[in-house]
Structure 1
Amino acid sequence: MNLRLTAFGGWKPLFWAALLGILALSLLPSATPLPTTGWDKTNHLLGFGVLAALARFAYPGPAWPRLLGLLAYGALIEILQSMTPDRSAEWADLFADSLGIAIGWCVAWVATIGLQRRA
């Protein structure tokens, strides 16, 4: 990974803040006004895209444990939502999470390659 990206020490705190923030927003009662894109699936895609990019920068190493961990996190959120009175679990949400993970990972990879070429 590019030295410029790994030299920034804030990736791990940003990752954990985003992880906890997404969990909190996902479990709030649906009557609570939340920041939104206007379409639920886009919220999932963007949220998990950010998580994937942050995971790539924060934790170097093999990709699969991080990617599968994020997908498991999305599944956990859906399970927890099914246990709340105001939320429901949807397979489409998990699919949007997985698309976001793939896109976020690729964007972070392209950013890394771009910085390596400039160095």
Structure 2
Amino acid sequence: MSVSRLWWVLGWMQVVILLIATLWPAIDLPGPDGSDKVGHLASFCWLMIWFAQVVDQRRWRLVLLLIGYGALIEVLQSLSGYRHGDWWDLLADSTGVLVAWGAVRWVLPDFIGRFGPVMRS
């Protein structure tokens, strides 16, 4: 299996794990109100950075897909009967994607450039 294929498989596994975790019955975690938004931001930031390693052209499509995925999760939560969708969660998801997109574009281009050809092989 090529490195690129392995990267895609591991990425999709993360997408599925995130979906399962977000649709699992809610657990009250300690912390101030709204602290779960940090988890949303970090999760989607991570996914964007992960997939940006193998998507080097038209990353804006990846941005739209991940924001759409966040919206899908919120809709599924609202339909579940035991979770609820939250616009603030979607905003945190979207912010994570956009922060990562900016990092990949302007802060980490050399990192991606060095490892990108390996990932795409």
The TM-score normalised by the length of structure 1 is: 0.78
* Correspondence 1:113 to 2:110: yes
CA distance, structure 2, for counterparts of residue 98 and residue 114 of structure 1: 23
- Could you tell me the TM-score, scaled by structure 2's length? 0.76
1:22 corresponds, among 15, 18, 34, to 18
**Structure 1: gaps of 5 or more residues:** 1-6
CA contact (8 A) 1:45 1:99 kept: yes
Residue in 2 that maps onto 1:4: none
User: Could you say which residue in structure 1 is the equivalent of 2:41?
Assistant: 45
Find 2:79's aligned residue among 75, 78, 83. Answer: 83
Alignment of 1:26-37 (within 5 A): 26-31=22-27
Q: After TM superposition, which residue ranges in structure 1, 4 or more long, deviate above 3 angstroms? A: 114-117
Q: Out of 40, 44, 56, which is 2:52 matched to?
A: 56
How big is the alpha-carbon RMSD for the aligned residues of Structure 1 and Structure 2? 2.4
1:104 to 86, 94, 100: 100
1:79 maps to a residue whose letter is V
Percent of residue pairs identical: 33
